[in-house]
Each structure stands twice: as C-alpha cells, then as structure tokens.
Structure 1
Amino acid sequence: MAILSAPGLTGLAYAAPAPEPGKKSLEEVRKEIEDLYHKAAAATDAYNLAEGEAKRQSDQIVALANQIVAGQQRIADLKNRAGAAARAQYRTGGLPPGAQLALSNSPRQFLDGADRLRQGEKATMGVIAELNRTQDDLTRYAAEASAHWRTLEANRLKKEAAKKEIDSKIAAAKALEDKLEAEEKARLLKLEQEHAYKEQSKWLESGVLKEINGKATEAGKAAIRYATAQIGKPYIWGAEGPKGYDCSGLTSEAWKAAGTPIPRTSQEQLRLLKKVPIRDMRPGDLIIYFDDASHVAMYIGDGAMVHAPRPGRHVTIAGAGSMPIKAIVRPDA
C-alpha cells in the first residue's frame, strides 16, 4: 500500500486563517522557513564535503611526514656508509684495499684486486646515486606536504564559511518560528504536512508507482533496518549518529552498517553512485532531491522513504514524492 498522507492528515486540505493586514500569512512564513532550511542544507553538504576533504589532507600530511622521517634516516645511514669508506681510505694512505691489491706484484692478486676495485667503485657510485634519489624524494615529499597544507587551509576556510551560513540560516528560521504562538506552530506543522501530502499525491497520480516493483537486496534490507531504527532521533546538522543525523549522515551510516561504505554528502552520493531510472528503483536505493542535490533519503518501498528532514524535526518516514526528485542512486549496484 502506497504512502499517501502525512501523519495527522486525512487527505483534506487544511485552510489557514487569513492573516491580519500587513502581516505575512502562515503559508508565506512556511515557505520562508522552508527556503532558509533548504539553504542551510546546501551549506551543510558543503561543510561535510570540506570536512571530509580536510581529513584526507591531514592523513596525507601524516603519511608524508612519516616518509620524510624515514628518508632522513636513510640519508643518515648512507652518509655513515660513505664516511666509513672515506675513513678506510685515510687509514691506508688514501688507497682502498682493492687498489692496494691491484698494485701487488702477484698477477693473481692483481686480478683479484682489480675486480674488487671495480666492485668497490660500483658500490660507492650506488651509495651516491641512492643518496641523490633519497634527497630528491625528500624535496618532493616536502613540496607535496606544502600543497596538502594549502589545501587543508582552504578547506578550513570553506568549513568556516559554510558553518557561518548554516548558523545564520538556521537562526533566521528559528527566529521566525519563535515568533509564532503555540497554536500557530501547530498550524505551521499542519501546513508542512499538507504541502508534503499534495506533492506525494501528484507523484502517485502520475502512475509512477505501478512501474516500481524492485526487490531489496540483503544489503539493502540491512541498510533499511539501520535507517528505520533511527526514527525519532533529531536532525542535527553535520551529525552521523548515534544521537542524531543530518540527511546524508543517516544514509551514509545506514549503508556503512550494511557493509557498503558510500560518500558522506548527498552531492557526492549523486556524483559517485550509480544512477538508475525511477521505474527501476528498489528499497535501499537513495533518492536525491532538489536541483542542487541538497537532500537525500532512502527508499523503503510502497512509495515511502525514511529521512532526516531538517533542524527542528526528527528522522521519520514520508512519501517518496513529497519533494522534487532529482535522481535515484544505488549504493550496491
């Protein structure tokens, strides 16, 4: 049976009282709040992406630092070897053992000494070549580390900018809601539910659900079990559980629990996961919403999805068509 109505709605339109002259209607307030939260969601994805990239850069810097330390130790060892050879030459009057043998009156000793002399020269050249290579590696590692530091700093600035935008949008939306009386807040929730109901109804009336009959894989079932077990937990921007989630935090953690790690943000999930037509959608697939791919949910079957909606709301089940669908992606393609 398809999900059609939102909780507390019977399918009948909800008529909000007319606003006072010069005052915004509750529907206008709803749209303004929705727009602010939408912009906050887009900024949250930018923040999460920058945070993930910052972690990768930090890991690269640590790895390069380890390589630099190992390279410095290698250079020290090579210099010790070169120093030992130089000290040996000094003790023998500047002639290495091979050269002394080469100057021997014995033909056999001469041949043996010449061979050892060639081997010694080859070994010395090898030490010098390895020393040069190691020094070149250290120069390259240092340059790469500097580049990673610059990228890390750029991502830090991106995170700060995104966080400021998130905070400002959420604060503005909350300020609008805080101005409402308790009765108006209840009506606002009804309007949100009615809007979602209308969008879901239009989606179902298109006949799309008749084409959707895919079956969940075992991994998909595991991801759904995880996601639905989080129902009732609050939306927290940037969160990946266990106390709360943002939209992509919920979907990425659900699929991680199912044994299939996926990208952290909705934009990256759209970019990197396999896209499938809506008619081929199956439970466990992810639904990417809005043109900017700023929201994601998990399809659970029968026209329903589970998602973390926005700040001030909790993880819940809703109609899969209650928001404009941009694409369907499959983590376990």
Structure 2
Amino acid sequence: MGTGKRGLITAAVAVVCAVTVLAAPGTAFAAPAPTPSPTPPPVASVTRTAPATNAELEAVRQRLEELYHDAAVATDAYNAAEEKAEQQSAEIVSLAKKIVAGRERLAELKRRAGAAAAAQYRTGGLPPEAQLALSDDPAAFLDGAGRILQGERAAKAMLGEMTRTQADLVQYAKDASAQWKRLEANRKAKAAARQKIKKRIAEAEELQKRLQKEEKERLARLERQAAQRAQTAWLGSGALSGNTAGASEQGARAVRFATAQQGKPYVWGAEGPGSYDCSGLTSQAWASAGRVIPRTSQAQWDQLTRVDVEDMRPGDLIIYFPDASHVAMYIGDGQMVHAPRPGRTVTVAGAGSMPILGVVRPDA
C-alpha cells in the first residue's frame, strides 16, 4: 500500500474518532469468518535416497498449482478489501468535512438567533407586533407591518435551516459510523486474506524445499511440458484462426508498458514499480495508457466489456480459471505477458497455457 493510501486511512481514523460522538452507539460489528478451504491430503515427501518418480513429481506439480491458486484467490480478496478500505476512508474524510461545515453553520445560525433575541430585549421585551400596535403614526404603522412580515419570514427560514442542519449532522454522523464499521470489516477481511496467502506460499515453499536439485529440474520440465501441451491444444482448437486484429492506440501503449516489466518479481498485493501481482500489472499497464480499470482480476472480469476469444486483440485481458483468479495481457501471436506467481517474474508465455475463462477489453 502506498504512502498516500496510508495517509488517507490514517486521516480517516483520526476524523471518525472525533465525529462519531454525534451518533448513538451501535452494535459491535464483526466481519464474517472466511470459509476455510478444505485441506488436501499431504503429498508424500520426496526427499529420499532414490530420486522421486515422475508420478510423484507430477503429484507435487499439481499440489503446487493448488497452493498457488489458493494464494491467488486470497490475493484477489486482499486487493479487493484494500481498494474498498481506500474508498471508505475517503468517504469518511468527506463526511467529516461535512460535519465540520455543518457545525460551523449551526453555530452561525445560533449566533443570529441570539442577536435577534438581544435586539428584542433592548426594545423593552416587547415583540414587534406589540410595538406596532402602540404606534399612532400611520406611515410608521405601514412600514412596520412590512418589516414584521419580512422578519417573520426570515425567522421561520432560519428556524427551518437550523432544523435541517441539525438533522444533516445526525445523518452524517450515522453515515460515518456505518462507513467506519465497513472499514473495520474490510480490515479484518484483509488480515484473513493476508494470513491465507502467507500460509499457502509457505506450504508451497516447504514442499519445494524437500526436492533435491535434480528433482527440481525435472519438476520445472514437467511444468513447461504441461504448459506447452495446453498451449498446443488451444492453438490446435482454431481459437485464433484468422485473427489478425491489431491493437488500439491505448492497447499498444498498455502492451509496451506490460512487456517492459519483464523480469520484475511477482509480489502479492504489489502494483509496481518494482514488483507486481497479476492484476497489479494489468491495471497499471492500462493506467499508463490513460485508462483506469478495476484493481482485481475478478472485478476486471465482472466490470469490463467481454469479447470473444477469437476476436481478441493486443492489450485485451485474458481471464483464467473458473473463479477468475488470474489475469494476463494478450500481446499477439498467441502470446501473453503476466505476473505468474510467487517466486516467478513477469514473463511472456503462451496465452493458452492455462484454462481460459474469457477475454475483456478495457477500451471497448
């Protein structure tokens, strides 16, 4: 999280503590506990005298895919909670400013009401109507009648504004309190997601530590072979037959940005410039092209315009897996650029090397 976001949330915390005294104390709020993911049976250790068989390494590869997929899902949840927390903090600050302005306005109205009361006291306590009745000057009577009518209208308007201002202050305080509760809920969601990410990555790292050097090399070959099989099958399906679509101007800029990040490490929750997660890379690439898109892969899938795979063009985003937990940018010729997973760097790979859910176009 950048320093700007931290500053905004810190300001929101300080402001809410000051302004929510206007609202009645509410019921304590707790974020719903995240549904625990079923824990698959452990993969047998392959650290032994005899090298692991291909079947054992394939089981390791599949388990690693599961662990990193769980980490990717949790990363999306973390990023979504982070984005919501930023929005809620900004709303809290906005409400706090409204409360301050409302208090100042209410104080001014009370001052004017007090001044009117003081003026009446100086005239002996007689209301304007009584003073008018005692006047024997016809011109003064008519002039006074007009002034009384204007005064009554002004007083009624001032009382109405005071009532509305007081009601607004109460509502602002209630809104700030509600936003505060939602902010706290998102903080808990972020903490839960963070713990899940760390746990899954730690499990994956521990699993890989058990492998001997030669086994790690064979595992890497198995991973490349699996990706190549998927890519070959995808291209062989005719998904890109006749596709010659070129990038839009913005799409070309986004592609240039994304491909220029090659070699930078994957870090969950990162949005650059030194590291990225998958949706951090795609969102920043399109931001560099002048278009703001949602932060997470799931939000990108939900909110951006969908296009058929056979119609995709460079700059479009390819969403992977049934839960939209991974995203990459299509760069043409059946290739994509993405931030793959922890321990890897931003790289170019076959666009069909993972199960494609669909394609979205940020500049449709």
Normalising to structure 1: TM-score of the pair?
A: 0.92
Displacement, 1:95?
Answer: 3.0
Conservation of the 8 A alpha-carbon contact between 1:102 and 1:112: no
CA distance in 2 between partners of 1:171 and 1:140 (Å): 46
1:255 maps onto 2:286 in alignment: yes
Displacement, 1:100?
Answer: 3.0
CA distance in 1 between partners of 2:254 and 2:54 (Å): 46
1:220 maps onto 2:251 in alignment: yes
* 322, 339, 354: which one aligns with 1:291: 322
Displacement, 1:83?
Answer: 0.1
Structure 1 residue aligned with 2:76: 45
Displacement, 1:213?
Answer: 2.0
Instruction: Select the structure with the greater relative contact order (CA < 8 A; seq sep ≥ 6).
Output: 1
* Counterpart residue identity of residue 330, structure 2: Y
CA distance in 2 between partners of 1:287 and 1:21 (Å): 35
Give CA deviations for 1:135-171 in whole Å, capped at 9, x if unaligned. 0000110110111011101101110111111000000
CA distance in 2 between partners of 1:268 and 1:237 (Å): 17
* Counterpart residue identity of residue 213, structure 2: A
- % same residue: 61
1:68 maps onto 2:78 in alignment: no
CA distance in 1 between partners of 2:339 and 2:347 (Å): 7
1:57 maps onto 2:57 in alignment: no
Superposed, 1:118-129 pairs within 5 Å as 118-129=149-160
The SS at the match of 1:64 is helix
Structure 1 residue aligned with 2:24: none
Extract unaligned runs of 5+ from structure 1: 1-18
Displacement, 1:93?
Answer: 1.2
1:305 maps onto 2:336 in alignment: yes
* Number of equivalences: 315
TM-align CA RMSD: 1.5
CA distance in 1 between partners of 2:174 and 2:210 (Å): 54
Structure 2 residue aligned with 1:245: 276
CA distance in 2 between partners of 1:239 and 1:20 (Å): 37
Conservation of the 8 A alpha-carbon contact between 2:98 and 2:172: yes
Conservation of the 8 A alpha-carbon contact between 1:288 and 1:295: yes
Give CA deviations for 1:229-272 in whole Å, capped at 9, x if unaligned. 00000000000001100000000000000000000000000000
Structure 1 residue aligned with 2:114: 83
Give CA deviations for 1:34-58 in whole Å, capped at 9, x if unaligned. 1100000000000000110011111
Give CA deviations for 1:275-332 in whole Å, capped at 9, x if unaligned. 0011110100000000000000000000000000000000000000000000100000
Structure 2 residue aligned with 1:204: 235
The SS at the match of 2:240 is helix
* Counterpart residue identity of residue 31, structure 1: Q
* 164, 170, 181: which one aligns with 1:150: 181
Normalising to structure 2: TM-score of the pair?
A: 0.84
Compared CA separation, residues 131 and 259, structure 1 to 2 (3 A)? same
Structure 1 residue aligned with 2:223: 192
Displacement, 1:184?
Answer: 1.7
CA distance in 2 between partners of 1:29 and 1:49 (Å): 30
* 211, 214, 236: which one aligns with 2:267: 236
> Which deviates the most, 61-70 or 21-30?
21-30
Structure 2 residue aligned with 1:5: none
Conservation of the 8 A alpha-carbon contact between 1:102 and 1:113: no
Structure 2 residue aligned with 1:7: none
Give CA deviations for 1:205-240 in whole Å, capped at 9, x if unaligned. 111121422110000000000000000000000000
Structure 1 residue aligned with 2:139: 108
CA distance in 2 between partners of 1:95 and 1:314 (Å): 84
* Counterpart residue identity of residue 100, structure 1: Q
Conservation of the 8 A alpha-carbon contact between 2:240 and 2:309: no
Compared CA separation, residues 186 and 76, structure 1 to 2 (3 A)? same
* Counterpart residue identity of residue 200, structure 1: Q
CA distance in 1 between partners of 2:148 and 2:103 (Å): 30
